[in-house]
Chains A and B, each alone.
Chain A
Amino acid sequence: GAGVSQSPSNKVTEKGKDVELRCDPISGHTALYWYRQSLGQGLEFLIYFQGNSAPDKSGLPSDRFSAERTGGSVSTLTIQRTQQEDSAVYLCASSLSTPYGSSGNTIYFGEGSWLTVV
């Protein structure tokens, strides 16, 4: 696609329910990132994918959070047993990648998935 696409754009869920957030990166971008942005806060790194592999999951807040990527394209971030503190904007980004990493390459962001846990 022309840009990074995220769905749903808004999600209100009850505490304890599971949610899935989807990211469709720019075609040909092998690197994919998930970030979380809480109200009035900066960006918190969650996970990085290179192709279908996730060499860095260090930012996932707890074992309730998981993510996968299939076909080197679409990624899904799953939050199980949601808590109120999970309420935030979840941003996905993608970039081209070189043998030396993605640095210097622009990362392109989606519009975000706004999650509210009530």
Chain B
Amino acid sequence: AQSVTQLDSHVSVSEGTPVLLRCNYSSSYSPSLFWYVQHPNKGLQLLLKYTSAATLVKGINGFEAEFKKSETSFHLTKPSAHMSDAAEYFCVVTLSGTYKYIFGTGTRLKVLA
């Protein structure tokens, strides 16, 4: 069965410092993986996705994520946090041949001035 675990429910960083949001997945076969961002009172916006091409995926707003099969991880990173990055981030896994998208419980990122 597929599952996804976001290891931190809350992360606080200072503006200008690196961001690391952790995601581990469980899947029997090659998954597709996504990161979405949700700003307050807004819908979810796609940041980036991995679908078995390059393992390092670059997304919007300077975010990137690396697919590590050996560690079953898909952590989201950004070299330098900006105040506008404060939001909730969701890691999502889906399995080829199915319609199910499994969402993590979310990580709330706080950026301190």
Contact = CB atoms under 8 A, between A and B. Distances in A.
Contact of A31 (B34, B43, B99): B99
B90 A42 contact: yes
A33 B34 contact: no
B96 A108 contact: no
A111 interface: yes
Interface residues of A, number: 28
User: Chain B interface residue count: which class?
Assistant: 20 to 34
B95 interface: yes
A101 B51 contact: no
Interface string B84-113: 000000100011111111011110000000
Contacts of A107: 101
Contacts, number: 63
A104 interface: yes
A50 B98 CA distance: 12
A34 interface: no
A42 B104 contact: yes
A15 B67 CA distance: 46
A81 to B, nearest CB: 27
B10 to A, nearest CB: 11
B32 interface: yes
B97 A103 contact: yes
A47 to B, nearest CB: 11
Interface string A35-77: 1000001110100101000011000000000000000000000
Contact of B96 (A48, A56, A103, A110): A103
Given A31-B99, A101-B97, A102-B99, A110 B32 contact: no
Nearest to B45: A109
B99 to A, nearest CB: 5
Given A97-B99, A101-B99, A109-B45, 14 more contacts: A33-B101, A42-B103, A42-B105, A43-B90, A48-B99, A102-B99, A102-B101, A106-B34, A106-B49, A109-B44, A111-B42, A111-B43, A112-B42, A114-B41
